[in-house]
Amino acid sequence: MKRNRLYLLIALLLGILLAVLIFFFLTRDISDPTSLRMIENGELRTGPQASYPVVFKVDKGERLKIYQHEGKWYFVGNQDKKGWIAGWHTSLNIKPDVTPAADPFKGKTIIIDPGHGGSDQGASSSKGTLEKDITLKTALMLRDKLKKEGAKVIMTRETDQFIKLDDRKGTGDVFISLHSDALADATPHGLTVYYSHDSQKVLADTLHFSIKKKTLLSDRGVRREDFQVIHQTQIPAVLLELGYISNPTDEKLMNDRVHRQIVTTSIVDGLKNYFIY
């Protein structure tokens, strides 16, 4: 009898031990997985948030090692690529964050100011490219894209007409003035983003980041300058110098419709990020 009881006790202890082991194994697998699988195509970013730039594309079905995680974001990779991915694109069964990302332009009004116009042609090149034409073409394309995204757009001009600087303003959430730089020297080229008030810097940084990343324009940075059209308003406003009309390479880009598509899309994407975060 005593021996039977001992066997029973040992069996019981073994049973408890097994249960504990299974429990640890299961919970470890749920809270601290070592790899994941993509359940849809996704993008790896440099940081644990959608505002960070994309560094790699990953395909549905791809398996990736998990190195660390922060909230719902996982730092994953393999020999070829590493980066952060939101858990809800993966096999980890994580609910997406609720963000206004689905509709960032809802209720937003964007004022687009195509620089110069009419008798004021702005900068010009020896080949005859006029700044006022380039700014209008870019502005009209940007207007159409923003409207498609659900934004309300106010244009300071939609045709080749002269508008006083005093009148280049409006009531809205963001003001964007489009320009092209020019110098007597043909060497300088690239993008410069200007803001005037401190409160406009976040918009300037966000748009600068997006345009720089997506276009072929070289980078001349974000600068503060009290240009009248951005200084006279208190709403977030920027003046974009989208390349140098006096530089042959930049001029070629400006006259290229595909480049204009990329530039306007990068502005739309920048605004999206600006409104989301």
What residue ranges bind Zn ion (CB under 5 A)?
115, 122, 179
* Min dist. Cβ of residue 202 to Zn ion (A): 24
* Min dist. Cβ of residue 210 to Zn ion (A): 21
Distance CA 17, CA 98 (A): 41
* Min dist. Cβ of residue 117 to Zn ion (A): 10
Sign of the Cα torsion 169, 171, 175, 178 reads negative
Strand 35-37 with 237-244, pairing: unpaired
104 in helix, strand or coil? coil
Query: How crowded is the C-beta side of 247, counted as CA atoms within 13 Å?
Result: 17
Of residues 131 and 173, the one with the C-beta less far from Zn ion: 131
In degrees, rounded to 5, the angle at the alpha carbon of residue 111 between the alpha carbons of residues 265 and 273 is 45
Of residues 168 and 179, the one with the C-beta less far from Zn ion: 179
* Min dist. Cβ of residue 172 to Zn ion (A): 21
Of residues 85 and 182, the one with the C-beta less far from Zn ion: 182
Residue least distant from Zn ion (Cβ): 179
Of residues 50 and 267, the one with the C-beta less far from Zn ion: 267
